């Protein structure tokens, strides 16, 4: 099958993905939600540390009254509790990171969908991230239109945490 000259006629646009995400209402909402959840985790850590401080002091004070075996046993129990709490906190942090990544993914998917819709609307066959372009005329840039549509379509993102 011969190659047609029309195959090489390209209709191109550029989009500044970073700018789109920075201008996204949903991303701003997401940052606020993540910040609040992270703050709760930090408060939880501080509360647990405050809980363990007197237990540690009590344990150290009991040292002289206990046999070495009893003291080791209590130290091991204390360390097990601390280890358990650390694991719980790490699990919470990991879940928060995963929830953040999933929410970001939804914003990215919506952005790509909007870019695809604009490509259809303007009969574009190529949309390039502006970070990959050295020069493009301003009339090829669809960033503001993508940002506007993203903000109309996605004002907030649910965090599954």
* DSSP string over 29-95: HHHHHHHHHHHHHHHHHHHHHHHHHHHHHHHHHHGGGS-HHHHHHHHHHHHHHHHHHHHHHHHHHHH
For residues 91-119, average pLDDT: 97
The model's pTM: 0.80
Q: What is the pLDDT of residues 55-87, one digit of tens each?
A: 999 998 988 888 999 999 999 999 999 999 999
Residue 44, number of CB atoms within 10 A of its CB = 14
Residues 140 and 86: their CA atoms lie apart, in Å, by 52
Which element (helix H / strand E) includes 127? strand 126-129
At 132, is the pLDDT very low, low, confident or very high (cuts 50, 70, 90)? very high
Every domain of the chain and the residues it spans: 5-153
At 134, is the pLDDT very low, low, confident or very high (cuts 50, 70, 90)? very high
């Amino acid at each position: 099958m011969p190659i047609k000259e029309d195959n090489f006629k390209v209709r191109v646009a550029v989009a500044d993905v970073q700018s789109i995400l920075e201008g996204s209402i949903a991303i701003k909402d997401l940052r606020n939600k993540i910040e609040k959840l992270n703050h709760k985790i930090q408060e939880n850590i501080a509360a647990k540390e405050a809980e363990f401080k007197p237990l540690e002091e009590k344990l150290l004070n009991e040292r002289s009254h206990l046999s070495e075996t009893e003291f080791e046993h209590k130290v091991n129990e204390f360390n097990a509790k601390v280890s358990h709490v650390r694991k719980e906190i790490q699990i919470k942090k990991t879940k928060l990171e995963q929830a953040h990544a999933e929410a970001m993914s939804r914003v990215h998917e919506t952005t790509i969908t909007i870019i695809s819709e604009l490509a259809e609307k303007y009969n574009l066959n190529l949309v390039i991230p502006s970070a990959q372009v050295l020069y493009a005329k301003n009339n090829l840039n669809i960033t503001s239109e993508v940002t506007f549509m993203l903000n109309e379509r996605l004002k907030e993102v649910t965090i599954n945490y």
